[in-house]
Amino acid sequence: MIYVQIPEKHDAMGFLALAKSGTPVYCLAGNIYGVRTDHIKILKRKRIPFKKLDAKNVHLPKSSLAA
């Protein structure tokens, strides 16, 4: 899983491009998405800016069922 952050200005277009790909996208807070390599190609092809994030620094939400 690759984590990317899309700037606020391009977030709507970026998310739409990712969602239309047919492959699941994991949406996190702060315009952060868990994507696959084919999603990276889509973002580059559509010239949507993004920043790759180090997976160690991405805080995943905890399940409410984990209690």
Tens of pLDDT, residue by residue, the chain (67 residues): 899 999 999 999 999 999 999 899 999 999 999 999 999 999 999 999 999 999 888 877 777 775 5
Cα(46)–Cα(42) distance, integer angstroms: 6
> Residue 57 has what pLDDT?
84
pTM, two decimals, is 0.84
